Amino acid sequence: MAHGWLSLTGRDLGALTGLSRAADAAPEPIQAEYDCIVIGAGAGGGIVACLMAEAGHRTLLVERGSHVAPDPDGGDHLRNQRLSLYGVNAGPSLAENPRVDATGSAPRTVLATDGAWNNNASCVGGGTRVYGAQAWRFHPKDFRMASEYGVPDGSSLADWPITYGDLAPHYERVEWELGVAGDTSSYGYTGSGSRGYPMPPFPVTGSGVPLARGAASLGWETLPPPMLMNTIPYGGRNACIHCRHCVGFPCPVDAKNGVHSTMIPRGLATGLLQLATGAVVREIVTDGKGEVTGVALLEEAYTGANLRSVRARTVVVAAGAIETARLLLNSRSSMHPDGLGNASGHVGRNLQGHYYPSARGLMEEPCWDGVGPGPCIATCRFNHGNPGVIGGAMLCNDFIELPIIFWRNGLPPDVPRWGIENKRWMRENYRRTLQVTGPVQEIPSPNARVELDGSVRDRWGIPVARLSGRTHPETVKTAAAIWERCCEWLRASGASRIWGGPPGLGLSGGQHQAGTCRMGRDPRSSVTDSFGRVHGHQNLFIADASLHVTNGGFNPVLTVMAMAFRIGGFVAAL
Amino acid sequence: MLTPSELSTLRAFMDCLIPADDWPSAWRNGVGQYLMRQFAGPLRHMLPAYRSALAELDAESVARFSCPFADCGSERQLELLVAIAAGEACPETRNLLPAAASHAAEGYYADPGNGGNPEMTSWRMVGYLLPGEISAP
């Protein structure tokens, strides 16, 4: 049946995407030795691998997932990165990769369709394959949270070992080399000296109009959220067609700038980078002196062979905050009985993501015009300086919500879940509902952590991640305060009724997972130095959000990428 | 998978969860096809709970109205479901109700690739699909 509504744009989607061609090619055999092995082809690993290859190093980029091609029909609304009821669209394979959720009284084995698994995509491009692509720089104060606010009892709040200024040139590289659309004219805290963005911002859509009016009446300054998406053709890729399957799905026209479409192809073009998909690193291998010599790799899904060791002068781990910690903990030897980099017991601690208080408001008139991707107006007024709480959040309207997600998450509490009243509500109000939300900076807790489970193993026999603990109560307090600001914005924008509520105390990781191998100056309280080099190891680096000391009150991907540029440049020059 | 009698009870049950107005009911918008596909796949484990609930619905309907659930008319069907939701009858159906409402919505509002919502009717109903956005069949 020809129900491919995206094809109404009149564009040949198959010709525009081209990703399946790479997946069809016969894999190149994995060699016995490389200059560098990078584990994980996501935001951090994709960038480091490219920079290493461009600097002349023979590099192997290992990815346990595979290539993900866009669905010309738009996608599966029940199996995607935003609603994983019966499966996921960007990995991992479900039954092969369990985790243990130990946040409740009885630990339970969970699959990636369970929220407690804390899924991020596992594929070429990692989360950037399906992300919403908001491209925020962290605020200068986000790097010095302990100095700004003090350290709450029981928390592990700390300053970063680098400043905003150390990262600023790398932020700029991401913005120009991958491509960000935005407007720096109102970018209060980083505007001066900034080169600006290479592409104009996304337009203000129907939902942005009342929100702009509301913000103006409150005296709040706003700006369009910067996006790692093409508003005009850029980097040889297409402009966004404003479809409604954006966050949670691969872009059907290749207008979303993830590492799969930018840095990895750039690295492959050097001829020095090899990408191995379907390959699982079991452990990082060390010699009798405890020094890293390579990895033990399961390439069964890659070429049909089995466990083998691959040597390298340098190993970079970028598997995401949960899997990076798991891999280090699984890399045990007599010299490192508790895992690599874990002499002080910090690997896996301080797991954090973002709390997302969200409020919805009902407008008199429809404000939904179907123009994707959706977020078009934001304020950074509440990232800091909120009385009585620590930190804060950027606030903006959200991505276009699929109807089934609206049914599950968008209805006011007093609307019945079935019957004619439920249907009437869906009919009349899907296009009249505004949503304001924002990523609250979590106050880290050392007890929110990734450990190895003693009994549950994955399909390859490797002990799985066991997630336990909760964020710090201060996070809940900040989230409640930020939720009030969401409501205030909606009220000022003309919402006749408002619903939703701030989240309660729990553990968060998911797509914004961070913090499990934090960087710092003191090996007694951190896992790596300020260049991601694991303390005590000259040739072992980490290059993902595991390093984040705190996770900012913003979507973190631009910071992951900027850090990868900084670390990749440093490692390539060694 | 389901007997014809169970199927007609299921149809009436689903059409109570999403009734017809000037847009189609659950069953008319493909929820039956969605459920059959799910019962052969990820919702296989739910089939016994559905079977029990369907039997319970019929028994209660016969007791109250001397008529199987599928045949007793939409007003009586709704009356019975309201009583069930209030905890006054059919405990197994009551337990199933939140999941069943979700399954009905999944079939009704998700993409046609999942078996329900042919022609993306519900997307036009809520306004997710803009006028003229379906290509010719």
Cβ-defined contact of A86 to B102 (cutoff 8 Å): no
CB of B131 within 8 Å of any CB in chain A? Answer: no
Contact predicate A266/A50, CB 8 Å? yes
Give the number of A-B residue pairs with CB atoms closer than 8 Å. Answer: 99
Contact check, Cβ <8 Å, B18/A418: yes
User: What are the average pLDDT values for consecutive 10-residue runs of chain A, which has 574 residues?
Assistant: 42 41 68 98 98 98 96 91 96 94 96 97 98 95 97 98 96 96 69 76 96 97 95 98 95 97 98 96 96 93 76 98 98 97 98 98 96 96 96 96 97 97 98 97 98 95 97 98 98 98 94 98 97 98 98 97 98 97
How many angstroms separate the first and last alpha carbons of chain B? 31
pLDDT confidence band for B130 (50 / 70 / 90): confident
Using a CB-CB cut-off of 8 Å, the residues of chain B touching A419 are 16-17, 19, 78, 81
Which residues on A lie below 8 Å from B125 (Cβ)?
426-427
Choosing among A241, A404, A409, which should be mutated to test the B contact, i.e. which has the most B CBs within 10 A? Answer: A404
B18 CB near a chain A CB, below 8 Å? yes
Query: How far is it, in rounded angstroms, from Cα A141 to Cα B126?
Result: 43
In 3D space, the residue among A258, A304, A301 whose CA is nearest the CA of residue A281 turns out to be A301
- Name which of A3, A8, A430 is nearest B126 (Cβ-Cβ): A430
Q: Which of residues 4-33 of A touch B (CB under 8 A)?
A: 4-5, 7-8
Q: Can you tell me the distance from the alpha carbon of A213 to that of A207, in angstroms, rounded to the nearest whole number? A: 11
Q: State the smallest CA–CA distance between residue B3 and chain A in angstroms.
A: 25
Q: What is the pTM of this model?
A: 0.95
Q: Report the half-sphere exposure of A33 (CA within 13 A, side-chain side).
A: 3
Does residue B103 contact residue B21 with C-beta atoms inside 8 Å?
no
Residue A147: other Cβ atoms inside 10 A: 12
Tell me what pLDDT residue A236 has.
97
Query: What pLDDT is attached to residue A184?
Result: 78
Residues of B in contact with A425 (CB under 8 A): none
Mutate to test the interface with B, among A114, A245, A371, A407 (most CBs of B within 10 A): A407
CB contact under 8 A, A430 and B16: no
Determine the pLDDT at residue A306. Answer: 82
Q: What is the SS3 string spanning A472-511?
A: CHHHHHHHHHHHHHHHHHHHHCCCCEEEEECCCCCCCCHH
The answer to whether B120 contacts chain A (CB < 8 Å) is: yes
User: Which of B17, B31, B126 best probes binding to A when mutated, by most A CB atoms within 10 angstroms?
Assistant: B126
Q: What is the spatial distance between Cα A300 and Cα A278, in angstroms, rounded to a whole number?
A: 8
SS (H, E, C) A69-98: CCCCCCCCCCECCCCECCCCCCCCCCCCCC
CB contact under 8 A, B110 and A7: no
Number of CB atoms found within 10 A of residue A121's CB: 27
Residues 381-410 of A with CB under 8 A from B: 402-404, 406-408
Query: A323 near A465, Cβ under 8 Å?
Result: yes
d(C-alpha A393, C-alpha A378), whole Å: 11
Shortest alpha-carbon distance between residue A71 and chain B (Å): 11
Across the interface, of B17, B97, B135, the residue whose CB is closest to A7 is: B135
Give the pLDDT confidence score for residue A28 in this predicted structure: 86
Rounded Cα distance between A47 and A562, Å, is 9
Q: Which pLDDT belongs to residue A25? A: 63
Contacts of A424 in chain B (CB under 8 A): 21
- Cβ-defined contact of B111 to A368 (cutoff 8 Å): no
Distance CA A292, CA A281 (A): 14
The answer to whether the beta carbons of residues A62 and A111 sit under 8 Å apart is no
Report the pLDDT value the prediction gives residue A9, as an integer from 0 to 100: 40
Q: What is the mean pLDDT of chain B?
A: 95
Please answer yes or no on whether B134 and A419 come within 8 Å at the CB atom.
no
Which residues from A are below 8 Å from B119, CB to CB? 3
Q: Is A216 on the interface with B (CB under 8 A)?
A: no
Q: Mind listing the pLDDT tens digit for each residue in B75-129? A: 999 999 999 999 999 999 999 999 999 999 999 999 999 999 999 999 999 999 8
pLDDT at residue A21 in the model = 41
- Nearest chain A residue to B136 by CA distance is A2
Q: Could you tell me which chain B residue has the CA closest to the CA of A73?
A: B113
Q: Which residues of chain A lie closer than 8 angstroms to B101, CB-CB?
A: 417-418, 422
CA distances from A322 to A278, A375, A528 (A): 19, 28, 16
Model pLDDT, residue A301:
61
Query: Which tokens in the block code for residue A553?
Result: 């009150």
Confirm or reject contact between B96 and chain A (CB < 8 A).
no
* pLDDT score recorded for residue A13: 42
Contacts A417 to B, Cβ<8 Å:
98, 101-102
**Nearest residue of B to residue A419 by CA position?**
B17
A439: its two tokens: 């990523």
The one-character DSSP state at A227 is: B
Q: Is the peptide bond before A373 cis (omega within 30 degrees of 0)?
A: yes
Closest by Cβ to B19, choosing from A75, A423, A426: A423
